[in-house]
């Protein structure tokens, strides 16, 4: 009732939003300092925050552009689902949604009696983010001169996709679940936890599920946008999220059998605190303009506040570790480590090592950008050629864009490969060792031999690489190490499968529950990583020049075995609710294609541009650079510009047809006759393994995340997560 009443009040009187947010933050501050009434205070705070969230969504739905936040991101022309999705389209709404989730989790923890100390970290996080949201002012009024200039600004064209409904809220919810681990982890570091709470275990599993799902939807989204053009390219935000994912993985692999005084008992809660601290740090990276990124919140200034909260959590971790330095001394156990404990500990080390490599690259790039160090020329593909095509202010802007630092993906890949191979080897040995000592030893020797041979002389990727795709020579030199990772992935999947068969043979149907979700998770990771590496390393492309006048063109045969033709071009005003829609152009190019198997299919590519007509056509070479390299596409990208391909997803490969019809659009607008249009065909082999692996990983994670306490994952001691 309270949520409904407050939502209605805020829907009618948006100016009350600041007072409601202030009250919610004050309740969080009270709960952080006092244990008396903590659960009630946090529950009331959560109710008020969800009222603010729902009311803000209502203002988007009814086009209430008198609110600054609605004016900045929405438009009357948008469909309802995109209007509501704009709730998390900017800094204000994203942080408000995170705050509401954190308050709900803090309240549920307090009601369950898990937060009875004098001070509450969960409530302090609510108070801190409450202050940030209050400063961001999501209910602030739109300045009169903005409304006089335009009814609204419109939605970023890159966000006008169905994936907007899933990617951002899943990641935000995962952030909240991870932050909920901070309190019990700090208590454990001080030695105050006899054993890890079952509720905290569930929260970690659910965070893993939500974060993995959010990353998966982000990959699907990136695959169809020219600013990415591929599923992953170590954008600074992607790198920071990868750090969080690895820290969460390290934490999960240390939960089973954990107890104060055991060998390396601090590693598991330390990984949880680091993961919690990584959440505001990831949000700071997303909002900090120092590094070049395609995920940036344009104009966001809250990165300092997020960075401060992350730093505070790190300081608390150091204080907790110092205060608990003598904890468990009387309980400390000697002797040899069990095989299960050793395998999980090695997996933890690999996850932590991967996270450390990514953090170092982020810090190095940030330091180089902050110091003004010049960027090496090898990080500026196409710049020399493009410099001959532009001049004046555009040339200066282009040079500035290529001078901006981002994460060195080549160095990062080289540092990550040993950890990735190590995860596969440690995990495969862990599963085979649980069948028998002999199976563990023999399988590990065989896996080490194959992995070592692959690293020395190459394997599948090295032998099938043809140099026909978009891959730098630095990565080509690492292909044998990529093959070593593939060998580790295969060992991990085989180990999980063999252990599942063993469990079913030994326990019958009762063995399915503890084994099958772990098989799905580890086989899913192996498949997804293998598919991503194969698709990236063995990709290929070709480019074609086609004279097109709007009527069906002649069939063109591609060297990959595809035949295609451009059938139609439908051009209209970009009045779709995106940025610059009134003056922009929206063009759909229809394509018919035949696969090598003879199967026919058709579809459309999208070109949207908010620029004035004289600026739309950049010339053929620049269009090709944009379709081949995400760095130049990122430079060209603006909130009103969008280039999407036609994608044919198959089991053997996925094919992208990229068409940039800017020249044709201008030609048809001014005169009759054809004009050359360039089509780029990209092929990504075996990328279906990536999608299949993600589905398996999510199914296994959902099984564990939604299982009741004491369910399948605890039926077999040491059973992974």
Which has more confidence, 330 or 698? 698
141: burial class by Cβ within 10 Å (0-12, 13-18, 19+)?
middle
Tell me: the pLDDT tens digits for 326-364? 766 555 554 445 666 788 899 999 999 999 999 999 999
Q: Which of 264, 270, 233 is nearest to 248 (CA)?
A: 270
Check: CB of residue 90 under 8 Å from CB of residue 73.
yes
Helix, strand, or coil (residue 660): coil
Helix, strand, or coil (residue 546): strand
- pLDDT > 50? residue 716: no
Q: Which of 647, 621, 643, 620 is nearest to 633 (CA)?
A: 643
Contacts of 506 (CB under 8 A, 6+ apart): none
For residue 345, what is the enclosing H or E element?
helix 339-371
Over range 203-215, report the average pLDDT.
96
> In the chain, helix, strand, coil percent, each to 5?
60, 10, 30
Contacts of 608 (CB under 8 A, 6+ apart): 157, 574, 576, 578, 584, 585, 586, 587, 640, 641, 642, 643
Tell me: the pLDDT tens digits for 112-166? 877 777 889 999 999 999 999 999 999 999 999 999 999 999 998 888 899 999 9
- pLDDT > 70? residue 667: no
Q: What is the 3-state secondary structure (H, E, C) of 270-288?
A: HHHHHHHHHHHHHHHHHHC
Strand partners, 720: none
Provide Rg for the chain, Cα atoms.
27
Over range 571-588, report the average pLDDT.
78
Strand partners, 585: 573, 609
- pLDDT > 90? residue 441: yes
Tell me: the pLDDT tens digits for 255-303? 887 777 677 788 899 999 999 999 999 999 999 888 888 777 666 678 9
Which has more confidence, 18 or 545? 18
What is the predicted pLDDT for the residue at 363? 94
For the ranges 16-25, 442-451, 491-500, 552-561, which has the lowest average pLDDT?
552-561
What is the predicted pLDDT for the residue at 715? 39
Tell me: the pLDDT tens digits for 581-598? 666 788 888 999 999 999
DSSP for residue 713 = G
- pLDDT > 60? residue 614: no
- pLDDT > 90? residue 632: no
Tokens of 693: 């692996």
- pLDDT > 60? residue 717: no
What is the predicted pLDDT for the residue at 390? 64
Helix, strand, or coil (residue 101): helix
Cα 540 to Cα 315: distance, rounded to the nearest angstrom: 48
Tokens of 73: 């991101």
Cα 87 to Cα 90: distance, rounded to the nearest angstrom: 7
For the ranges 61-65, 433-437, 684-688, 705-709, which has the lowest average pLDDT?
705-709
C-alpha torsion angle, residues 629, 631, 633, 638 (rounded to 10): 170
pTM above 0.85, yes or no: yes
For the chain, give the percent of residues with pLDDT over 70.
86
Check: CB of residue 428 under 8 Å from CB of residue 447.
yes
- Distances in whole angstroms, Cα of residue 482 to Cα of each of 109, 204, 216, 485: 43, 30, 21, 5
């Amino acid at each position: 009732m309270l949520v409904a009443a407050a939502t209605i009040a805020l829907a009618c009187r948006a100016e009350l939003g600041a007072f409601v947010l202030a009250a919610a933050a004050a309740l969080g501050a009270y709960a952080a300092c006092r244990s008396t009434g903590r659960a009630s205070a946090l529950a009331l705070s959560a109710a008020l925050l969800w009222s603010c969230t729902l009311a803000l969504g209502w203002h988007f739905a009814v086009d209430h552009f008198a609110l600054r936040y609605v004016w900045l991101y929405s438009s009357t022309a948008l469909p309802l689902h995109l209007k509501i999705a704009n709730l998390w389209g900017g800094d204000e709404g994203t942080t408000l949604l995170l705050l509401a989730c954190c308050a709900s989790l803090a309240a549920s923890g307090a009601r369950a009696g898990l937060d009875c100390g004098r001070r509450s970290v969960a409530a302090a996080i609510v108070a801190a983010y409450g202050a940030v949201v209050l400063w961001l002012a999501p209910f602030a009024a739109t300045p009169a001169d903005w409304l006089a200039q335009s009814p609204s600004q419109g939605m970023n064209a890159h966000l006008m996709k169905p994936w907007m409904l899933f990617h951002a809220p899943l990641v935000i919810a995962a952030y909240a679940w991870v932050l909920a681990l901070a309190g019990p982890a700090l208590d454990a570091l001080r030695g105050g936890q006899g054993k890890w709470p079952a509720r905290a275990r569930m929260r970690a599993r659910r965070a893993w599920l939500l974060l993995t799902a959010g990353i998966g939807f982000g990959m699907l989204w990136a695959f169809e946008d020219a600013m990415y053009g591929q599923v992953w390219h170590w954008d600074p935000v992607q790198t920071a999220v990868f750090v969080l994912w690895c820290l969460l993985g390290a934490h999960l692999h240390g939960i089973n059998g954990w107890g104060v005084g055991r060998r390396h008992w601090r590693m598991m809660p330390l990984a949880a605190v680091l993961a919690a601290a990584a959440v505001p740090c990831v949000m700071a990276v997303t909002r900090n303009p120092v590094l070049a990124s395609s995920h940036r919140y344009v104009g966001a200034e809250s990165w300092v506040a997020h960075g401060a909260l992350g730093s505070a959590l790190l300081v608390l971790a150091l204080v907790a570790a110092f205060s608990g330095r003598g904890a468990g001394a009387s309980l400390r156990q000697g002797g040899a480590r069990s095989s299960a404990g050793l395998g999980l500990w090695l997996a933890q080390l690999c996850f932590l090592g991967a996270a450390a490599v990514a953090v170092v690259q982020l810090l190095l790039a940030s330091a180089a950008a902050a110091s003004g160090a010049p960027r090496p020329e090898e990080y500026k593909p196409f710049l020399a050629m493009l410099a001959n095509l532009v001049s004046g202010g555009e040339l200066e802007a282009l040079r500035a864009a290529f001078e901006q630092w981002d994460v060195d993906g080549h160095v990062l890949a080289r540092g990550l490969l040993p950890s990735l191979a190590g995860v596969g080897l440690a995990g495969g040995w862990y599963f085979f060792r649980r069948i028998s000592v002999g199976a563990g030893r023999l399988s590990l020797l065989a896996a080490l031999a194959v992995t070592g041979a692959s690293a020395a002389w190459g394997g599948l990727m090295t032998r099938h690489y043809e140099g026909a795709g978009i891959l730098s020579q630095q990565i080509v030199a690492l292909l044998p190490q990529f093959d070593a990772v593939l060998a580790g992935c295969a060992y991990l999947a085989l180990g999980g499968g063999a252990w599942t068969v063993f469990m079913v043979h030994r326990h019958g149907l009762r063995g399915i529950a503890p084994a099958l979700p772990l098989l799905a998770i580890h086989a899913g990771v192996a498949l997804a990583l293998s598919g991503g590496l194969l698709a990236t390393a063995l990709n290929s492309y070709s480019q074609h020049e086609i004279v097109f006048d709007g009527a069906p063109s002649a069939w063109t045969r591609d060297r990959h075995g595809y035949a295609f033709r451009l059938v139609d071009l439908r051009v209209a005003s970009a009045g779709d609710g995106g940025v610059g829609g009134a003056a922009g152009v929206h063009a759909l190019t229809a394509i018919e294609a035949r696969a090598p198997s003879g199967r026919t299919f058709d579809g459309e590519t999208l070109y949207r541009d908010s620029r004035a007509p004289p600026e739309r056509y950049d010339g053929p070479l620049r269009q090709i650079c944009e379709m081949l390299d995400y760095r130049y596409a990122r430079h060209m990208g603006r909130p009103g510009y969008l280039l999407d391909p036609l994608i044919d997803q198959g089991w053997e490969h996925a094919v992208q047809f990229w068409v940039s019809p800017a020249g044709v659009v201008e030609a048809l607008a001014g005169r009759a006759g054809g004009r050359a249009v360039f089509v780029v065909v990209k092929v990504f082999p075996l990328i279906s393994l990536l999608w299949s692996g993600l589905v398996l990983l999510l199914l296994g994670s959902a099984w564990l995340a939604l299982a009741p306490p004491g369910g399948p994952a605890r039926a077999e001691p040491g059973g992974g997560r």
